[in-house]
Structure formats: structure tokens, C-alpha cells
Structure 1
């Protein structure tokens, strides 16, 4: 088993799916339509419709996308399988095979002494089938550096820095208050000493 991409009808990558190792190419997958249940209980009790009124065919399944046996090209932001390029490639491959078969049949029809070298099949080059599904503007938007939310550690560091700054401020205020208190104490002592000498 191997994982291969599934794409929607526009060729945009959906998810990977498991397939047999021998799988290759591009195959469609469908959404099955479920039969409609009667809407009201009264409808279920009615007699079945006559053969003329019964639908002759079950509803057609709806094309949901494709399973692609070609690996996604790495580095794409939103991989898109180019379905038109794939169809054109398969048409070119069929035309090349038909041309080779016609050339080989002509060669094989010649007498052996007139044949020369057998024709060689040359397959068309496979184009790049996985392309970018986003516009350059969309890529620029998603690759632009986004402001990151601060982590809990960052928030704790900020709080610690703020607390340290507040502690320094309080320490300075405390020192100023101590000097002011000492000056006030000195003034009181001077007044007491000045009052006792008088």
C-alpha cells in the first residue's frame, strides 16, 4: 500500500489516501447519492407508485474529485494538480503511441532485407503537473511574519522586570525618607539643645 493525493474537481489537494502499490495515473472518485426517504410518515403509508411513476434509474453519482498517482511536488503552499495539463499529456501520449504503432506496422510490413532499424517509441515529456494553488499575493500574506503572542515565560519576565524596577524605586524613596527623617531628627535635637541652654 502507498499513500497518494486526493484532489477536488478543481485539482486542489484534499488529503492522502491509501492505494495499491501498483496504482498510477489519475482516476475519478464519486459521492454516492443516497435514496430519498419519505419526508412525512403519511407518505410511507401510501401505496407504492405504479411502474410508470417509479424512477427507472438510480441517481447518478456526483464527481467529487480525483485520486492522483503522481506525488505532490514539495514546496507548494497549496498544491493544485493541473488536470488540463494531465489531459493534454494523456492525449499527446495516445497520439505518440498511435503514431509509433502506425510506423511500426509499416516497418513490419516491409521485407526483412528492406527494414533497417526498427522504429523507437518516444513518449512525450511529462509536464509539471503539480502547481501552486495560491496567488503570489496570498503567499505573501501567509508568509508575512506574524506578531507572536507572548508566552507565559515572556509574561513572567515582564512582570519580574516591572517588580524589580518598582523595588528600585521604593528603595530610592526609602533612602530619601531616611535622610529626611535624619535631618528632622537633627533639627529636633538642635532645638532641644538650643532650648536647654537658654
Structure 2
């Protein structure tokens, strides 16, 4: 078994799922709606069409992405271009004469499905994440509280010394 990624219709990462080790590529995920209740017993209920709810992407997510998104539009266009190139290659291969001095045409390069993982956040959102203040460690918080306590004690001592002549006047 290996990990694949479930994505929504916009290509955003939803959750990991386990798939067989040989799984590769993009598989649509459909939801099967409940059939409507038929009022007449003689009539066979018309089954509703399945609804596309997302995709399963059995292609590793590259590291370094804050919010991984699979570019479905570009992926579909690349697959369509590959299919067209393969059709042209097959036609050229069928028309190729091995007795001629011409070189046979080369098959198209396969589509690299890993190339369609992109960053789903804008540059500004990434900068905000990178520049966000980091949470303080326990040691840093203890040091801050000790410093604040010392400052408070000094302020109380100073006030006490100022109020001492009023509280305890000299006779």
C-alpha cells in the first residue's frame, strides 16, 4: 500500500488515503446519489447520474508547498495534447515505409504528472506565514514573567518608600 491524495474539484489537498502499490495517476471520485422514490410500482426508477466530488491523485506531493493544489486544468490540457501527439505518432508510424531512408518518427514524451502540483497560496499569504511571530518556548515565557515580576517588585518598593513619610510620620 502507498499514500495517495484526495483533492477537491478545485485541486486542493483534502486528505491522504491508502491505495495499492501499483496505483498511479489521477482517478475521479464520484458520489452515487440516492435514487428517487417511484410512485408507481410498475415503473422502474430512473437512476440519477453519479456526481463528481473530487479526485484521487496517486502522485507524490513535492515538499515545500504550504497549501498543495493539483492544477487540474493544465493537467487535462496536457493529457489532451499528449493524446493528440500519440494519434499523430500512430498515424505517422502506420504510414512509415521501412524501405525508405527516412527516420521513423519518435513517440511523444509521457506527461509528468508530478509537474502539476503547485502552490495554492499567494506570495502575500506565504510571506504572512513566514513572518508570523513564533510561539514562545516555556523558558522564554518564564524569563519574561521573572523580568516582569522584578520590575513590579521594584515599582512597589519605590511606591512604599514614597508613601513611608505619609504612613509613618516622624514625630
TM-score, L = length of structure 1: 0.64
Partner of 1:142: 129
Determine which structure has the larger helix proportion and give its number. Answer: 1
* Structure 1 stretches of at least 4 aligned residues deviating more than 6 Å after TM superposition: none
CA–CA distance in structure 2, aligned partners of residues 63 and 149 of structure 1? 45
Q: Provide closer, same or farther for how the CA distance between residues 68 and 150 of structure 1 changes in structure 2, counting only shifts above 3 A.
A: closer
Alignment: residue pair count: 159
Deviations 1:126-171 (A, max 9, x none): 48311111122222222222263674x555444544259738x86x
CA–CA distance in structure 2, aligned partners of residues 123 and 113 of structure 1? 26
CA–CA distance in structure 1, aligned partners of residues 107 and 141 of structure 2? 68
Partner of 1:193: none
Deviations 1:32-72 (A, max 9, x none): 324579xxxxxxxxxx83247x5622333321100112221
Partner of 1:86: 75
Q: Secondary structure at the match of 1:103?
A: helix
Deviations 1:70-92 (A, max 9, x none): 22122111111011111111111
Q: Secondary structure at the match of 2:63?
A: coil
RMSD: 3.4
Residues 29, 53 of structure 2: 8 Å contact kept: yes
Q: Secondary structure at the match of 1:90?
A: helix
Partner of 1:10: 10
Gaps of 5+ in 1: 38-47, 178-183, 185-198
Residues 28, 56 of structure 2: 8 Å contact kept: yes
Residues 96, 123 of structure 1: 8 Å contact kept: no
Q: Provide closer, same or farther for how the CA distance between residues 160 and 13 of structure 1 changes in structure 2, counting only shifts above 3 A.
A: closer
Q: Provide closer, same or farther for how the CA distance between residues 83 and 165 of structure 1 changes in structure 2, counting only shifts above 3 A.
A: closer
